[in-house]
């Protein structure tokens, strides 16, 4: 019989739990030191190990042979709990048994001492779903806890638990499992199952599961079926309908380079293939955000994971990235009030402007002269310096320059500009100097207050 990975690889010992270091340490120590509370509240998102750990706790409390707070896994009690037929472990799902009668049943049952084990353990799943009456009944039980009874209330919605209940429980908070740990866990399953896998594929799964181990395991399950034992990034991306961060960054480059045709084609291809466009746009926004951070920080390592992946975006002027950020952000907002694909298409089309207002091509192709003979010919017909500047520079560079202080020295026009502006438009300014010997630049250490370029956005 086929057992899904999520069930097959459910941890049976504290040591097998991935992440959740704090809950595991607290509970293991409580068992070891004989200081177990009579009521716990396990709060956290779904699929991160609440039920799993509740069962392990039940096991270690009833194990005939516990070792340092860990159950032995071999004794009768441990095995019965694993099989789900231990009489002193009662699991209730409040989502389906919401009524007061069920809680009455709990209260009555509680009056009996454990049948077989040392502790009677009640696991009440989705405890926030209990009715108010049921909560109150439970409260009475919690006020006068019967001996050798442990209640474990699990919830994904901590805020919905009444304060009176909260105050009687020891709270244990479960967090999402980090992406790295999810990947590690998936890798282990692949090894045990003899599955071939690409690291990128596992990363995509981990990303999509957002720290939920149950989702991660079942996505891996699906991928292994689809890939017939081989888990590739392509398969995963296809069936998840998501693109890897690397592919999203490639798309981002299309926008920055104003390659509108390719970008629109790709966008529509994703749409036709049934990709989740809003997820795609979300990760585009995130990638742009990271690129902007890396572009503007001296040491982004504390803020952005793998900053080296964004290194190439340092070649783009910050203005271009900020403009793109604005564009993508607006695209997301507009997707709420009209068909998403249309909103995204429009955003892509708007990226044409990046080419017009920013000297990206110069910034990218260092050494290549962007000007054409045609441009120079036109320039000859102009007579004032101002006209020539306007002619030879991109609008943004021109604007930056016109905001600068200037002095005339021996017939040479000297622009005093701050370091940042100079660096941003270096290619253009160098080119300009070659064409207009009557122009010089003086780079100022201190940043000029009036930053004309910012007004664009
Ligand atoms: N921390 C974890 N470590 C390893 N596997 C986990 C973990 N959390 C969840 N799982 C996997 O997900 C499945 C569901 O976990 P469960 O404990 O029922 O989640 P919850 O009760 O928090 O919704 C388990 O069978 C197991 O395969
Ligand atoms: Mg659960
Ligand atoms: Zn045991």
Q: What is the DSSP string of 262-277?
A: HHHHHHHHHHHTT--H
Name which residue sits closest to atom 26 of ligand 1, judged by CA. Answer: 10
- pLDDT of 455: 30
Q: φ and ψ at 5, to 5 degrees? A: -55, -40
- CA dist., res. 342 & res. 353, Å (int): 18
- CA dist., res. 67 & res. 32, Å (int): 8
46 CB near ligand 1 (under 6 Å): yes
What is the mean pLDDT for each group of 10 consecutive residues in the chain (457 residues)? Answer: 89 96 96 94 95 97 95 96 93 74 68 84 88 78 85 92 89 94 95 92 90 92 87 85 82 92 93 84 93 92 84 88 94 93 95 71 44 41 70 79 82 86 85 86 65 33
Q: Considering every ligand atom, which ligand is closest to the CA of 73?
A: 3
Distance 14 CA to ligand 3 centre (A): 13
**Domains with residue ranges and CATH for the chain:** 5-173 (3.40.50.300), 179-240 (1.10.8.60), 245-358 (1.20.272.10), 373-456 (no CATH)
- pLDDT of 427: 84
Global pTM reads 0.64
Distance 18 CA to ligand 1 centre (A): 9
Q: At what angle do helices 340-350 and 260-272 cross, to 10 degrees?
A: 170
Distance 46 CA to ligand 1 centre (A): 8
9 CB near ligand 1 (under 6 Å): yes
Distance 248 CA to ligand 1 centre (A): 30
DSSP at 67: B
- CA dist., res. 63 & res. 70, Å (int): 9
- CA dist., res. 72 & res. 82, Å (int): 12
Cβ contact 197:67 at 8 Å: no
Ligand 1 atom with the shortest distance to the CA of 52:
17
49 CB near ligand 1 (under 6 Å): yes
Cβ contact 267:341 at 8 Å: yes
Cβ contact 188:206 at 8 Å: no
Q: Considering every ligand atom, which ligand is closest to the CA of 126?
A: 2
**What is the distance between the terminal CA atoms of the chain, rounded to a whole angstrom?**
61
Contacts of 304 (CB under 8 A, 6+ apart): 290, 293, 294, 310
């Amino acid at each position: 019989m086929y057992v899904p990975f999520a069930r097959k690889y459910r941890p049976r010992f504290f040591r097998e739990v991935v992440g959740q270091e704090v809950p595991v340490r607290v509970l293991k120590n409580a068992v070891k030191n004989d200081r177990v509370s009579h009521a716990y509240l396990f709060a956290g998102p779904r699929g991160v190990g609440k039920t799993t750990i509740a069962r392990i706790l039940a096991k270690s409390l009833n194990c005939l042979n516990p070792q340092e707070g860990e159950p032995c896994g071999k004794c009768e009690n441990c095995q019965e709990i694993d099989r789900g037929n231990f009489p002193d472990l009662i699991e209730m799902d409040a989502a389906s048994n919401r009524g007061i009668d069920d809680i009455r049943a709990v209260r009555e049952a509680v009056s009996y001492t454990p049948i077989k084990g040392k502790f009677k353990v009640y696991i009440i799943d989705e405890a926030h779903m209990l009715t108010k009456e049921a909560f109150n009944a439970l409260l009475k039980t919690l006020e006068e806890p019967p001996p050798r009874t442990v209640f474990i209330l699990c919830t994904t919605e901590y805020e919905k638990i009444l304060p009176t209940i909260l105050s009687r429980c020891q709270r244990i908070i479960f967090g999402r499992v980090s992406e790295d740990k999810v990947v590690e866990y998936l890798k282990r399953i692949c090894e045990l199952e003899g599955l071939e896998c690409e690291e990128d594929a596992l990363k995509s799964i981990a990303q999509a599961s957002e720290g939920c181990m149950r989702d991660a395991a079942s996505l891996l399950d699906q991928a292994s079926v689809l890939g017939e034992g081989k888990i590739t990034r392509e398969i995963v991306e296809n069936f998840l309908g998501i693109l890897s961060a690397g592919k999203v960054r490639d798309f981002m480059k299309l926008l920055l380079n104003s390659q509108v045709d390719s970008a629109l084609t790709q966008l529509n291809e994703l749409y036709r293939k049934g990709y989740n466009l809003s997820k795609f746009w979300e990760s585009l926004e995130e990638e742009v955000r990271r690129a902007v951070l890396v572009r503007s920080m001296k040491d982004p390592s504390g803020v952005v994971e793998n900053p080296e992946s964004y290194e190439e975006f340092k070649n783009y002027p910050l203005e271009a990235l900020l403009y793109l950020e604005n564009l993508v952000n607006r695209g997301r907002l507009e997707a709420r009030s009209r068909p998403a694909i249309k909103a995204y298409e429009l955003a892509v089309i708007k990226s044409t402007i990046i080419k017009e207002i920013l000297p990206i091509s110069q910034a990218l192709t260092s050494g290549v002269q962007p000007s054409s003979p045609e441009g120079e010919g036109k320039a000859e017909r102009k007579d004032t310096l101002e006209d020539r500047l306007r002619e030879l520079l991109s609008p943004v560079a021109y604007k930056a320059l016109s905001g600068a202080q200037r002095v005339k020295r021996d017939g040479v026009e000297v622009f005093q500009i701050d370091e940042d502006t100079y660096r941003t438009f270096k290619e253009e300014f160098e080119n300009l100097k070659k064409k207009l010997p009557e122009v010089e630049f003086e780079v100022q250490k201190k940043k000029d207050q009036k930053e004309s370029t910012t007004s664009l956005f």
